Amino acid sequence: MPEQTKKCPMCAEEIPVNAKVCPYCDTRLVSEPPLPTAPSHVPPRTVPSTGKPKRTGLVIGLSITAGLAVLCILAGIIWVVFQGGIAGLLPVATSTPTRTKTPHLTATATADPRISNQANNHKYLFVQIGSTWHQAQDYCMERGGHLVTIQDAEEDQFIFQLTGGNTWLGASDEAQEGTWVWVTREPWNYQNWDTGEPNNYQIENYLTYQGPASQDDEPAGDWNDDAGEKNFVCEWDE
- pLDDT tens sequence for the chain (238 residues): 567 788 888 787 888 877 788 888 877 776 555 445 545 454 555 545 555 444 555 556 666 777 777 777 877 787 766 666 545 545 545 555 555 554 444 555 678 899 999 999 999 999 999 999 999 999 999 999 999 999 999 999 999 999 998 999 999 999 999 999 999 999 999 999 999 999 888 889 999 998 765 455 556 689 999 999 999 999 999 7
For 234, list phi and psi in degrees, rounded to 5.
-95, 150
pLDDT score, position 159: 95
Q: Can you tell me whether residue 169 is helix, strand or coil?
A: strand
Q: Which pTM was predicted?
A: 0.53
pLDDT score, position 200: 85
Give the number of C-alpha atoms closer than 13 A to the C-alpha of residue 34, restricted to the C-beta side: 3
Q: Does a cis peptide bond (omega within 30 degrees of 0) precede residue 34? A: no
Q: How far apart are the first and last CA of the chain?
A: 153
pLDDT score, position 97: 52
**Cβ count within 10 A of residue 227:** 15
Residues facing 131 on adjacent strands: 230
If we measure between CA atoms, which residue out of 206, 211, 230 comes closest to residue 221? 211
pLDDT score, position 215: 52
The dihedral formed by the CA atoms of 63, 54, 41 and 33, expressed in degrees to the nearest 10: 100
pLDDT score, position 120: 93
pLDDT score, position 100: 53
pLDDT score, position 217: 53
